[in-house]
Amino acid sequence: MTEHARQRIPPFMRQLLAVSGVVLYMIGTGANIAYPGVLLEQLRDPQSTLKLTEDHESWIASILGLALISGILAAPFSLQRLGRRLTNQLSTLPAMGGWALMVAAGGPAALLISRTLQGFAMGLQAAAAPVSIAEYSAPKHRGAFLATIAFSFAAGMLVAHILGTLMFWRSAAIACGSFYLVSLILITLSPETPPYLASIGKFNECRKAFRWFRGHDHASEKELEILLNSQKKEVNEVKVNRYRHYRSVIMKPEFYKPTVIMMFMFILFQISGMTVVPSYTVPMMKEVTDGSIEDYTSMLMVDILRFTTAVVSCFVVNKLNRRTVLFLGVIISVVSLLSAALLLYLRDLEYIPEQYKWVPVIPTLGYIFGKTLGILPIPWTIAGEVFPLAYRSLGSGVSGMFLSLMFFVVVKTAPTSFREIGVNGTFCVYAICISICGIFLYFLLPETKGKTLYEIECHFKGIDCEMIKTDGTEHDNMLELVKVEVGRDDGE
């Protein structure tokens, strides 16, 4: 292929194509999370032929969390043995099967099986999405591309609620499931990620894929050479003493430090109400508004704010430091939750006049804004950056377990929490938990903006080396260091 032919499609557009396949999948994931918000409302209609008990409703909303565990457990094996691309492709199949069963469901059992299939697929993708996007992306675009995961969640939630408001729930399920089909097509059009090809010793294929994604400029070629040389060293080490290599993984700081960070990240993600609010938007906002705003209007108001903020976060994450965005979101969320709880408490005591009973809506929307701006995008951004390539699949799986467990616990207990301590008490619990996670992350989380994945790996390894600059200038010290460690080129 000539240089002219190579440049017909800019590298950014090729990265965008690959990322779009994952983004569409995550839109489907957002729809999965939010769909019970409209499904359960329609099934509560006295004229509905499909009847559910309150216990059925809580299981339909929360079973995704349990099913996520099976997908998370399968993810490390799939990502390492099958690769990022094939894992993304295969994960669309149970998702589409789940939506198809949802369309045909005749009773609670079919709905639960449908949600279980969707949850398994979500578990696979929860590990695969940030890893895939990070490995597709150039450092200067990686923050914005990883932030599209947050955008995708918000878009999927908005789409599910709009479709569920305008359409019968079975028709809405067909529309939501169609995102996975388009996702499968786009993923199939993209090659495997270069870091994965390098990690399994396919260095020639890695070169082709890397240049397909990143072009042939000087800075990219330097980064490619470092990637290849560092992975030749890893491959040789594993070949020499594989058992000893894997036994020592858990004790390595470049594995356990990112894993602990992501544990707190995903606990923060779930305990902030990230999946509770979409599943129970209508009953939550009904209590917040005290009937002053129509139910579906308040639901769509929340969705539109979340979607708009998620779009803004794509730019904010790419412009500001990761830590700045995260802690800004944490502070706004905590202050807004406590303010909303206080106003709800005062309203219950009748200290707020009747004409102002809608006032708690303002801090509640502030809470939605804060968690969508910082708490939604940053965990997924960091998840794609902090794990070294050699342990990326395993680390994503281990930390993802906390995501799935917390998903189930928080969503399953939400109806009881709303009933026993009210929305104001639940908001206080969320605020306290967000604060605790935020304090831990303040001391644990390093800044990753603008760094290559190898530079971040060096940070956790404690290697003090010169960093490759992402603006086209570079220092050769790190490249020479890697070459010395490798010793020779292995014929490549």
Q: pTM (2 decimals)?
A: 0.74
CA 225 to CA 215: how far, in whole Å?
A: 14
Give mean pLDDT, residues 120-135: 89
Under CATH, what is the fold of the domain 3-190+253-444? Growth Hormone; Chain: A; (1.20.1250)
Q: What is the pLDDT of residues 327-384, one digit of tens each?
A: 999 999 999 999 999 999 999 888 888 888 889 999 999 999 999 999 988 988 888 8
Helices and strands (DSSP H and E) totals, the chain: 21, 0
* The two structure tokens encoding residue 410: 């928080």
Contact 154, 310 (CB under 8 A): yes
DSSP 382-439: HHTTSS-GGGHHHHHHHHHHHHHHHHHHHHHHHHHHHHHHHHHHHHHHHHHHHHHHHH
Residue 469's φ and ψ, nearest 5 degrees, are: -85, 145
Residue 191's φ and ψ, nearest 5 degrees, are: -75, 170
Give mean pLDDT, residues 66-71: 87
Higher pLDDT, 278 or 433: 433
Amino acid at site 8:
R
CA 127 to CA 148: how far, in whole Å?
A: 15
Whether the per-residue pLDDT at 241 is higher than 80: the answer is no
Confidence of residue 146 (pLDDT cuts 50, 70, 90): confident
Using only C-alpha atoms, what is the Rg of the chain? 23
Whether the per-residue pLDDT at 478 is higher than 50: the answer is no
- Cα distances (Å, whole numbers) of residue 323 to 44, 131, 196, 295: 43, 20, 28, 36
Whether the per-residue pLDDT at 491 is higher than 60: the answer is no
Q: Considering the chain, what percentage of its residues have pLDDT values greater than 70?
A: 89
The length of the chain is 492
CA 95 to CA 101: how far, in whole Å?
A: 10
Give mean pLDDT, residues 435-464: 85
The three-state (H, E, C) secondary structure of 70-130, written as one string: HHHHHHHHHHHHHCHHHHHHHHHHHHHHHHHHHHHCCCHHHHHHHHHHHHHHHHHHHHHHH
b or e along 361-395 (b: 16 or more beta carbons within 10 Å of the residue's beta carbon)? Answer: bebbbbbbbbbbbbbbbbbbbbbbbbbbbbbbbbb
Give mean pLDDT, residues 9-30: 91
Q: Which of 86-100, 285-299, 308-322, 474-488 has the lowest average pLDDT? A: 474-488
So what's the pLDDT on residue 484? 38
So what's the pLDDT on residue 426? 93
* The two structure tokens encoding residue 187: 């993923």
Give mean pLDDT, residues 306-310: 91
Whether the per-residue pLDDT at 116 is higher than 90: the answer is yes
Distance from the Cα of residue 178 to its chain's centroid: 20
Give mean pLDDT, residues 28-54: 85
Q: What residues does each domain of the chain span?
A: 3-190+253-444
CA 420 to CA 164: how far, in whole Å?
A: 29
Higher pLDDT, 429 or 398: 429
So what's the pLDDT on residue 173? 93
* The two structure tokens encoding residue 155: 């878009």
Confidence of residue 489 (pLDDT cuts 50, 70, 90): very low
Residue 50's φ and ψ, nearest 5 degrees, are: -105, 115
So what's the pLDDT on residue 485? 38
Of 228, 240, 147, 190, the closest CA to residue 454 belongs to: 228
Q: Which of 26-30, 58-62, 74-78, 471-475 has the lowest average pLDDT? A: 471-475
